[in-house]
Amino acid sequence: MTKKYKVKLTQHAQEDLEHIFYYIAADSISNASNFVIELEEKVYSLEQFPNRNPLIPENEYFETDYRHLIFKKYRIIYRVSENSVFILRIIRGDKLLDL
């Protein structure tokens, strides 16, 4: 049986999702809704095998062990701790993580 992790969004990640929604909604609420639904599906796919994704390059500077999942132009940055996956940020792929 595959181990299942509990996915938890931090306040920053929730705010990132809202910002993404409103940014896209400025052009189309329908597109914004669809995009965020797809993005959330990717986030919750981390319930299984969250360690399958690569470590982020910023770990070298922050001395962390964060990973990221790429979805279209966004990076879902997270850390795995015991039975949980903490979604830390959801940022554009061309941005570096800023703690």
Is 98 part of any domain?
no
**Hey, is 10 helix, strand or coil?**
coil
Is 99 part of any domain?
no
- Pairwise CA distance, residues 75 & 96, whole Å: 10
Task: Residue count of the chain, please give it.
Answer: 99
Is 13 part of any domain?
yes
Q: What is the count of structural domains for the chain?
A: 1
- Pairwise CA distance, residues 35 & 80, whole Å: 25
**Which whole-number Å values give the CA distances from 95 to 78, 86, 89, in the listed order?**
15, 20, 11
| CB-CB contact of 95 with 57 (8 Å) | no
Domain range for 86: 6-92
This prediction's pTM: 0.91
pLDDT of residue 2: 77
- Mean predicted confidence (pLDDT) in 59-80: 94
Is 43 part of any domain?
yes
Is 82 part of any domain?
yes
- The pLDDT tens digits for 11-62 are 999 999 999 999 999 999 999 999 999 999 999 999 999 999 999 999 988 8
pLDDT of residue 25: 98
Is 72 part of any domain?
yes
Is 62 part of any domain?
yes
Is 97 part of any domain?
no
Specify the CATH number for the domain of residue 53: 3.30.2310.20
Query: Is the pLDDT confidence value at 99 over 70?
Result: no
